[in-house]
């Protein structure tokens, strides 16, 4: 039963991150997801200190606030003439460092350490359960990630056309009256919430991979957004399932194995994608040369 909870939690983390990662990839903002996933650390620590508990709600609120502050600072620096990659790098390293300092100062007062923050340990998920009315409701991480995932699906589903147009042509979206800035910050809020919900089970570093790798794999396999979303989630779930069994076989980190499998799937797509794969392009060029000869 423990294996089931671990695989289910890993699948939800990968699917929820991959789902939102598609919009980050299309908007060429993949590294902003990296920035948010690191920069929310001080928000999580401050939420611990103010609430005195590990409940998911204060952590989500702290992460969402810091996530929005991160996006605002990056946008402000970029509009002031700083290159976007430099603005992202400066912002997330500064905020992440503040979070690391807070963790080192208050690690004796709260149940939080750097190993938890950076690497996570999904193997402990089945034992950290949510008790409600004297009943064991299952792993707490599962409820947190699952709830945020459903919320993201609801928001994206309700405003799919707006998110789609903002991703492909923000200038046109603004011209026809869509509040591009509002949907930009709404997307960043969803990324922040998803990141902190997955934080404890897989850690900051691995959340970054799940935000980028499954969606990048899907990007290579299709040119249609709704199909890309499904492929991204499928790649994430497959990575979680295969990664768990590889980790069991190798007796290694479960979250690390899941991410390694996701990287392998991306590499296969990079080679064999029907339209964008390296081998497919080589075959197409060879056919052209043969035809010209």
Q: Would you write out the chain's pLDDT as a tens digit for each of its 293 residues?
A: 678 888 888 888 888 888 898 998 888 877 777 777 777 778 877 877 777 666 667 777 787 788 788 888 887 887 788 877 788 888 878 888 887 787 777 655 555 555 555 556 677 676 767 666 777 777 777 888 888 899 999 999 999 999 999 888 888 888 888 898 888 888 888 887 887 777 766 666 677 788 889 999 999 998 888 899 999 999 999 998 998 888 888 887 787 888 889 999 999 999 888 877 788 777 777 767 666 55
pLDDT of residue 285: 73
pLDDT of residue 181: 85
Place of tokens 């350490």: 113
pTM score, whole prediction: 0.82
CA angle 149, 186, 224 (to 5 degrees): 70
Separation CA 195–CA 197 (nearest Å): 5
CA distances from 147 to 9, 48, 79, 144, 152 (A): 12, 20, 35, 5, 9
Domains of the chain: 1-128+136-291 (1.10.3470.10)
Neighbours of 259 (CB within 10 A): 23
Q: Which residues of 88-119 are buried (b: 16+ CB within 10 A; e: fewer)?
A: bbebbeebbebbbebbeeeeeebebeeebbeb
Separation CA 30–CA 220 (nearest Å): 15
């Amino acid at each position: 039963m423990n294996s089931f909870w671990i695989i289910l939690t890993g699948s939800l983390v990968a699917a929820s991150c991959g789902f939102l990662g598609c919009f980050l990839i299309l908007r060429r903002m993949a590294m902003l997801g990296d920035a948010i996933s690191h920069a929310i650390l001080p928000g999580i620590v401050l939420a611990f200190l103010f609430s005195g508990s590990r409940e998911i709600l204060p952590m989500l609120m702290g992460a969402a606030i810091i996530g929005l502050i991160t996006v605002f600072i990056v946008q402000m620096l970029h509009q002031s003439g700083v290159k976007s990659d430099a603005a992202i790098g400066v912002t997330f390293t500064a905020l992440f460092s503040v979070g690391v300092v807070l963790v080192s100062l208050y690690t004796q007062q709260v149940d939080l350490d750097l190993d938890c923050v950076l690497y996570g340990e999904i193997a402990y998920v089945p034992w950290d359960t949510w008790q409600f009315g004297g009943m064991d409701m299952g792993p707490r991480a599962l409820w947190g990630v699952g709830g945020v995932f459903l919320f993201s699906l609801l928001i994206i589903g309700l405003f799919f056309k707006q998110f789609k147009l903002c991703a492909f042509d923000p200038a046109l979206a603004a011209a026809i009256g869509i509040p591009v800035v509002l949907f930009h910050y709404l997307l960043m809020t969803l990324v922040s919430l998803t990141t902190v919900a997955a934080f404890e089970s897989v850690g900051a570093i691995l959340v970054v991979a799940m935000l980028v790798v499954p969606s990048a794999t899907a990007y290579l396999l299709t040119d249609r957004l709704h199909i890309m979303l499904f492929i991204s989630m499928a790649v994430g779930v497959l990575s979680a399932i295969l990664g768990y069994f590889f980790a069991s076989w190798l007796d290694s980190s479960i979250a690390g194995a899941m991410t390694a499998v996701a990287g392998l799937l991306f590499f296969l797509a990079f080679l064999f994608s029907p339209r964008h794969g390296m081998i497919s392009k080589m075959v197409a060029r060879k056919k052209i040369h043969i035809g010209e000869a």
